[in-house]
Amino acid sequence: MLSPQDQLTELVRALETDQHVFATDPLLITEKLQGEDGTPIQKLHRRASRIDSNGALARVLGKIDGRIKGIMIVMSVVWCISGFLGLFTLLQSNVVNFFYVLVCLLGFHTIILGGWLVMTLINRDQQSPSWFASFVSPSYLIRGKDDVTKAAVDLYERQLQHSGMRWYLGRFSHQLWLATLTGMLLAIIFLLVVRQYSFSWESTLLSDQALVSLTQVLGWLPSMVGFGVPDSTAIAQSRLVTEAMPLSVARQWAGLLVGSLLMYGIVPRAIAWAFCALMFRRKKMRLDIKQPYYQKILNFWQRHVVDADDFTEAPAPIAPKATVSAGKKLVALLEYPANQDKWWQSGFDDSHHDFGQSSEVEDFGIVDDRDDMARLKNYLDAHPVQVLLGIHSNALPDRGTLRKLDQIAAHAKDGLIVQLLSDTNSAADLTDARTDDEPLDKQAVRYQQWQTALSARKIGLVDIDA
């Protein structure tokens, strides 16, 4: 799996390739990062975070990741409860066959663990099992038809097909086994606390000496870590026990049972879990910055100006001056509200006093979502009016905003003119924001961006005098 930062960066790449409209224009962020320090990966991460300025992309990724982890936690809890209940059912009798209980505890577990070890040594480069990718497919965990959700689901499905996911699957499998064994351990401890057991052993095929030797070999490792194990006398006394045995002998058998579960069950499985976790970290998916998308960005950041003294800066584009037509006007605000009620009056002198008459002006309000655009286009198709569009200085001239501007211009029968609004409802200060000794400030840069966009579309800009 990619790291959260890599996931966000890769999601931005997928969405930008599909012409998605972000909260912040990627081009502006890319240009700003050109002069910042950092490694290529760090700058790509920084770029993705700034493009996702409202956190919408990160929230979708976090929702998918949270639901996958939630399923794993729920399954672990269920496996733990099943282990507890299984052993609780097994130890209902006060006299239990020690080897029968031990085989029920560790027999199948040991076979599965040995099989996993053999398969790991044989298939070192095996791909992730397709059934696991289908089982935890994000398409089942999150529903949504928007571009962000679809791209996030595709991103997670690509990660699930990565070769390093086999170690992720192995870690999850060992986690379930650890949960089961932990449930069994809790059940044993609980029952040994509240009940007194007698342990016996018997065999039809094996001799008494063979079972005594087997018990001593089995108790060697638990005894090394402090668990009490039965001696030869206690083992001999426990053959075919049908009644309560001495408490000291029962405690030795109980210590061997708990120690065997820990040393031959939980500890080997925990080692296998840690090994898979380590291999998953080593083999985990990395962000491939060799893709053409990332190379284009990195090459842009590495550009330097050569022979700057011979460079002549081209004049900045200037939008044409707005021409006010006769007749009824419609005024509207693009995405942001204005600080004044009749904001359009500040942009016209006495020669345009008719424009300020409320009978000649239809105030449409704010144009923001698709419903607003549909309502505005229907009105313009039915009424031949000139449109004055107020654009706040906070508005970005990104693809989505310019698309709205083009649609309004196409439907305005008597033309479209634009008035740029600052926090003080005056754009004149923006034009004077640059001096010979100081660089353009943020608002002046934004003002020039709108000048360029309006100039390319030949849309008139209302000239506001300070």
Tell me: the pLDDT tens digits for 127-136? Answer: 555 555 555 6
Write the single-letter amino acid at 220. W
Q: What is the pLDDT of residue 431?
A: 44
The CA-atom distances, in angstroms, between 299 and each of 50, 295, 328 are 20, 6, 51
Mapped onto helix, strand or coil, the DSSP state of residue 198 is strand
Angstrom distance (rounded) from CA 59 to CA 165: 23
E strand or H helix at 461: strand 460-461
The CA-atom distances, in angstroms, between 122 and each of 145, 162, 405 are 42, 19, 62
How are beta strands 361-367 and 416-421 bridged, if at all?
Answer: unpaired
Q: What is the pLDDT of residue 351?
A: 43
What is the residue extent of each domain of the chain? 4-283, 329-461
The CA-to-CA distance between both ends of the chain, in Å, stands at 56
How are beta strands 386-392 and 416-421 bridged, if at all?
Answer: parallel
Q: Which two tokens stand for residue 441?
A: 């400030």
Of 405, 396, 392, the C-alpha closest to 338 is 392
Low-confidence ranges of the chain (pLDDT < 50): 305, 350-351, 353-354, 425-440, 466
E strand or H helix at 386: strand 386-392
Q: What is the pLDDT of residue 435?
A: 40
Q: What is the pLDDT of residue 323?
A: 81
Q: What is the model's pTM?
A: 0.61
Tokens 């990395």 identify what position?
Answer: 286
Q: What is the pLDDT of residue 43?
A: 92
Of 2, 1, 16, 7, the C-alpha closest to 296 is 16
Q: What is the pLDDT of residue 115?
A: 92
> How is 139-199 classified by DSSP, letter by letter?
HHH----SHHHHHHHHHHHHHHTSTTHHHHHHHHHHHHHHHHHHHHHHHHHHHHHH---EE
Angstrom distance (rounded) from CA 90 to CA 77: 20
